[in-house]
A and B are shown apart, each in its own frame.
Chain A
Amino acid sequence: MDKLDIPQGTLDLMILTILVREPMHGYGISQRLATLSHDSFQVNPGSLFPSLYRLEQDGQLKAEWRPSENNRNAKFYKLTASGRRQLEQHRRRWDRIAFAIASVLEGA
């Protein structure tokens, strides 16, 4: 199946959503994103890492170095309290957008 471009402004929302379950490292996030989107989204590390850094700078993510499942030291990102709040806001906004778009499409 062809890959889709990640819609503008939704990468942060997806990163936060993925991290709500458990802390993860960069590779893990990109893999989970691919799995959850049934391989429709393939995030480019050139976009993923800048996003992770920005979210960390804004205090929505916190990072710590610890061994990964295959014993390689990796940087794990974890949601902070402010990240959680941000996620809820993002989520509500996205739900409204999705509902609105669906309504328009059905109504037409």
Chain B
Amino acid sequence: MKLVRRLASIVDWIFHRQRAEQALADELQAFVEISAAEKMRDGLPLEEARRLARLELGGVEQVREQVRTYRHGGWLDEIGRDVRYAFRMFVRNPGFTFVVVVTLTLGIGANTAIFSLIDALMLRWLPVRNPQELVQVAFQPPSPKDAPGTGFSYAIVRAFASQREIFAGVAGFSSFTFDVGSREAVRRAPGALVTGGYYETLGLQPAAGRLLGREDDEPGAPLVAVISDGYWEREYARSPDAIGQTVQLNDIPASIVGVSPRGFTGANVGSVADITIAVAALPQVDASAAPLLGPGNFWLRVLARPQSGVSVSQASARLNAVWPDISGAVIAPHWPASRRQAMADSVFQLLSGGTGWSYLRNIYRKPLLVLMVVVGLVLLIACANVASLLLARASARQKEMAVRLALGAGRGRIVRQLLIESTLLSLVGAACGIGLAGVAGRFLVSLISSGPIGPTPLVFDLTPNWHVLAFTSGVAIVTGIVFGLVPALQTTAAGPSATLKEDARTSSSRSKLLPSLVVAQVALSLILLSGAGLFVRTLQNLQSLDPGFNPEGVLLVDSEGRRTPLPRDVLENVQRLPGVLSASLSTHTPLSGSVWSEPAVPAGQPIPEKDNAYFVGADPGFFATMRIRLVAGREFTDRDSANSAPVAVVNEVFTARHFANQSPVGQHLSANVRGRRTDLEIVGVVKNTNAAGLRLSPPPTVYVAYAQLRGDFPTTLAVRATGPLGQAASAIQRALQSAMPGALIDVRLLSRQVEATMVQERMMATLASGFGLLALTLTCVGLYGLLAYSVAQRTREIGIRMALGAQGTRVVAMVLGSGARLVIIGIALGLPAAWAASRSVGSMLFGLTPTDPVTVAGATVALAAAAQMAAYLPARRASRVDPLVALRHE
């Protein structure tokens, strides 16, 4: 009650301020008059009575100030006044305000952009019921060398789901791409395969119709699909009639049973699932993917909700306790005994699962954290700049502060005023920064999307949520306090009398603080520049690496809409197209992200359990198309057909490993090809290729003749063309499309596929050098500002020196020297810091050590050169000081 009344009166004061102030003034006036009247009654003359009465009151203004301050809500009032005062100040100094706000916008915007990506990728809860209860199941194989696994077989997920006393629900899921529509108009749609407990476990309610349940995830169940709210809106305009309609998935009719709730696009963060079907229905839409349901394929991610009352640690203890009993039934029976044992000995961990799962997390966690540190340093540099601007301006306001101190304002009061000014500046910067971050965040996502992004396009929700807003305003307030406090304390430290007496220009206390800010900026910039250099040179090293094949001029053609190999006659048509040098089919192209491995050893040796070589099915002409050089023997020819003896070409690593000191050509290999024991005759040896990844050493590889493969294999057509690749691409597209109407023909560049594997390095190189340049610019501005300020302060001294005969060049040297001293100290401090910082990114580098002397030297030279240029402008201005003008100025 009291509180309500108090609030009401505070609000009343704010809104009827004028009236309240007037009433207070009237009341105090009455006090004086009544008091004077009493005194006159006691016999004092009018003038004397009034004077005494006013003395008694002690000053109308002071009492009014006391009432304003000590009444409830007085502090609010004062802050309001400070804010208004601060805004008036900003309007009076538009240049200062602009520079500060732009600097802070860049600093805070960069931080917000990186943070919102981290938030979207790693921190955001799934839009499901009580996401914090969800756990992700992972297993640690007995050998600690192996990384923990998060993929599980369908059988294991079903076994988990049957443990009702541990889990209230278990959801297995994987992304999948559907070809939607009839043969004439096929489109790709990103989707998901989920187990029967998926929607129930996540606790979702349908936006329309029903969601999938256990009965849909049984063999033989009718093929039904759930669509996302977004897909419902785009394709069906939210029509209720969509429920029950039939949609062609890979040419198989599926009926739509429901729409998932708005905002939910699957548990796989970063990829949207527009169409979701049950795992058990997979063989119906894609017969070739049926083996995925077997016990040997670990491909489903698992989120589970522990039974209520069961803690996460109890759940994982119970799961590990029951695993030996259930493992026998779900581990692939065809596995070798040792592998079965290893799986049975695995230990399960329950990780926090409320943020879903994303393969991108493993790839981008470290780069994003490194970038977060980088933008943090950029913000520090920006803060240093703003602090020196405020310090420089504070000296101009020293008199104003002194007057206010003398008039009775407390030091705390003035510090608060200055802090409010700096916090307001940073809040304005934060508001602009959020806008900048929206643009920058989209740019970041497009950078990441240019990489190998799996089966579905990358979609991130980057709209600022409370995490991001809290982060940004937190950064802004801390920033405001950090760069505002020092100038505030400095300005008020001297006390009124010293400043008022002294000429403000000669105050010397700032002379240490400003230079040390610049030294810190130089040191931080050196860290960022040498880091940027390391990332740029890593990218250059990867780009200039010879991968063993030549990706330039090669087009790759896929036709996944059909999921059947390209017909032979089509291949011949393509080979006859103008500009086409060679064309060949293969099962796997280098760096496509998908690989095939098998065990293969010289004939006579036992075939090992583990795969030991990459396998590639290749047509005649494959090596010519890829420009993989033949070292010995021959390539595949048209005579290597399904009816002739199986042949193979191996690479040099394979040769070195298995045929030391002898030529492998003519020797035989024993291999398991798709589980079938095969004898292969080696007919040739080729150069190595970095097929597993540019950073990885070339894997031992066995090429087998494409025509001799039996069974379903993925097939890509590789075409080497001369002239403009765009023309060749559209010619190929036309030729294939007329041969295969309705099929999805996808033509892309091999060079793009290679570049896609460098997306993380490219992101780091681009962003680190962008932020490095920003840091360098801010530092140069800081140094320039400091020197320009000190030249302005020393105009008179410089004038005297020149009047006494100092040459212009000598004055330039003096100013440059004072700048160089700061830069040298900054570099001396920055070098060890850069050395320490770069060691932590060692694993992200390629082809150079973290302490690469050339990079560090380059960064140092660039920094020193830029700093000297920044110092030159004020130096030149100093040398043009006219002694007469400078001296008369006094």
Whether A58 touches B5, Cβ cut-off 8 Å, given contacts A27-B35, A45-B56, A72-B30, is: yes
Contact B70 A54 (CB under 8 A): yes
> Which residues of chain A come closer than 8 Å to B568, judged between CB atoms?
none
> Which residues of chain B come closer than 8 Å to A25, judged between CB atoms?
27, 30-31, 34
Contact B6 A58 (CB under 8 A): yes
CB of B161, distance to nearest CB on chain A (Å): 62
Whether A50 touches B66, Cβ cut-off 8 Å, given contacts A26-B27, A70-B37, is: yes
Within 8 A of B (CB), among A10-29: 25-28
Contact A46 B66 (CB under 8 A): yes
Within 8 A of B (CB), among A26-82: 26-28, 31, 44-47, 49-50, 53-54, 56-59, 68, 70, 72-75
> Chain B 45-84 against A: per-residue CB contact (8 Å), 1 yes, 0 no?
0000000000011100011001101111100000000000
Q: B33 at interface (Cβ–Cβ under 8 A)?
A: yes
Contact B30 A46 (CB under 8 A): no
Query: CA separation between A47 and B57, bound complex, in Å?
Result: 10
Contact B63 A45 (CB under 8 A): yes
Q: B2 at interface (Cβ–Cβ under 8 A)?
A: yes
Whether A46 touches B63, Cβ cut-off 8 Å, given contacts A57-B9, A59-B5, A74-B30, is: yes
> Which residues of chain A come closer than 8 Å to B740, judged between CB atoms?
none
> Which residues of chain B come closer than 8 Å to A68, judged between CB atoms?
30, 34
Contact A75 B56 (CB under 8 A): no
Tally of chain B residues near chain A (CB < 8 A): 29
> Chain B 10-42 against A: per-residue CB contact (8 Å), 1 yes, 0 no?
100000000000011011101101110110000
Query: CA separation between A7 and B823, bound complex, in Å?
Result: 61
Contact A49 B5 (CB under 8 A): no
Whether A75 touches B23, Cβ cut-off 8 Å, given contacts A49-B28, A57-B6, A57-B71, is: yes
Chain B minimum-CB-distance residue to A58:
B2
Within 8 A of A (CB), among B822-873: none
CB of A8, distance to nearest CB on chain B (Å): 14
Contact of A46 among B35, B37, B58 (CB under 8 A): B58
> Which residues of chain B come closer than 8 Å to A27, judged between CB atoms?
30-31, 34-35, 38
Query: CA separation between A27 and B57, bound complex, in Å?
Result: 9
Interface size class of A (residues with CB under 8 A): 20 to 34
Query: CA separation between A45 and B66, bound complex, in Å?
Result: 9
CB of B70, distance to nearest CB on chain A (Å): 4
CB of B44, distance to nearest CB on chain A (Å): 15
Most buried by B among A25, A27, A54: A27
> Which residues of chain A come closer than 8 Å to B56, judged between CB atoms?
45
Contact of A72 among B10, B37, B66, B69 (CB under 8 A): B37
Query: CA separation between A73 and B10, bound complex, in Å?
Result: 26
Query: CA separation between A50 and B66, bound complex, in Å?
Result: 6
CB of B652, distance to nearest CB on chain A (Å): 89
Contact of A47 among B26, B66, B72 (CB under 8 A): B66
Contact of B70 among A26, A50, A73, A74 (CB under 8 A): A50
> Which residues of chain A come closer than 8 Å to B31, judged between CB atoms?
25-27, 45, 74
Whether A45 touches B5, Cβ cut-off 8 Å, given contacts A50-B71, A57-B72, A68-B34, is: no
Contact of A45 among B2, B38, B57, B72 (CB under 8 A): B57
> Which residues of chain B come closer than 8 Å to A74, judged between CB atoms?
27, 30-31, 34
CB of B74, distance to nearest CB on chain A (Å): 9
Interface of chain A: mostly helix, strand, loop or mixed: helix
Contact A73 B30 (CB under 8 A): yes
Query: CA separation between A1 and B829, bound complex, in Å?
Result: 69
Chain B minimum-CB-distance residue to A68:
B34
Contact A59 B33 (CB under 8 A): no
Query: CA separation between A19 and B682, bound complex, in Å?
Result: 113
Query: CA separation between A26 and B34, bound complex, in Å?
Result: 10
Chain A minimum-CB-distance residue to B74:
A50
Query: CA separation between A46 and B69, bound complex, in Å?
Result: 11
Chain B minimum-CB-distance residue to A59:
B5
> Which residues of chain A come closer than 8 Å to B30, judged between CB atoms?
25-27, 68, 72-75
Contact B66 A54 (CB under 8 A): no
> Which residues of chain B come closer than 8 Å to A72, judged between CB atoms?
30, 33-34, 37
Chain A minimum-CB-distance residue to B34:
A27
Query: CA separation between A47 and B66, bound complex, in Å?
Result: 8
Contact B72 A75 (CB under 8 A): no
Query: CA separation between A1 and B62, bound complex, in Å?
Result: 27
Contact A45 B58 (CB under 8 A): yes
CB of A74, distance to nearest CB on chain B (Å): 4
> Which residues of chain A come closer than 8 Å to B67, judged between CB atoms?
49-50, 53
Chain B minimum-CB-distance residue to A49:
B67
Query: CA separation between A27 and B67, bound complex, in Å?
Result: 16
Query: CA separation between A75 and B20, bound complex, in Å?
Result: 13
Chain A minimum-CB-distance residue to B35:
A27
CB of A85, distance to nearest CB on chain B (Å): 12
> Which residues of chain B come closer than 8 Å to A44, judged between CB atoms?
58
Most buried by A among B6, B26, B63: B63
Query: CA separation between A44 and B35, bound complex, in Å?
Result: 14
Within 8 A of A (CB), among B103-134: none
Contact A70 B63 (CB under 8 A): no
CB of B415, distance to nearest CB on chain A (Å): 23
> Which residues of chain B come closer than 8 Å to A73, judged between CB atoms?
26, 30
> Which residues of chain A come closer than 8 Å to B63, judged between CB atoms?
45-46, 49
Most buried by A among B35, B57, B73: B57
Contact A53 B71 (CB under 8 A): yes
CB of A84, distance to nearest CB on chain B (Å): 15
CB of B62, distance to nearest CB on chain A (Å): 6
Chain A minimum-CB-distance residue to B59:
A46
Query: CA separation between A72 and B34, bound complex, in Å?
Result: 7
Contact A46 B62 (CB under 8 A): yes
Chain B minimum-CB-distance residue to A74:
B30
Whether A57 touches B5, Cβ cut-off 8 Å, given contacts A46-B66, A49-B63, is: yes
Query: CA separation between A50 and B28, bound complex, in Å?
Result: 12
> Which residues of chain B come closer than 8 Å to A53, judged between CB atoms?
67, 70-71
Whether A59 touches B66, Cβ cut-off 8 Å, given contacts A26-B27, A70-B37, is: no
Chain B minimum-CB-distance residue to A69:
B34
> Which residues of chain B come closer than 8 Å to A54, judged between CB atoms?
70-72
> Which residues of chain B come closer than 8 Å to A28, judged between CB atoms?
34
CB of B818, distance to nearest CB on chain A (Å): 52
Chain B minimum-CB-distance residue to A53:
B71
Known pairs A49-B67, A50-B71, A70-B34; list 8 more (Cβ under 8 Å).
A27-B31, A28-B34, A45-B58, A46-B63, A50-B69, A57-B9, A58-B72, A72-B33
Q: Top 5 nearest A-B pairs by Cβ distance?
A: A50-B70, A57-B9, A74-B30, A53-B71, A46-B66
Chain A residues within 8 Å of B, Cβ to Cβ: 25-28, 31, 44-47, 49-50, 53-54, 56-59, 68, 70, 72-75
Q: What are 17 pairs between A and B in contact, CB < 8 Å?
A: A26-B27, A44-B58, A45-B28, A49-B27, A49-B63, A50-B67, A53-B71, A54-B70, A54-B72, A57-B6, A58-B2, A58-B72, A70-B34, A70-B37, A73-B30, A74-B30, A74-B31
Chain B residues within 8 Å of A, Cβ to Cβ: 2, 5-6, 9-10, 23-24, 26-28, 30-31, 33-35, 37-38, 56-58, 62-63, 66-67, 69-73
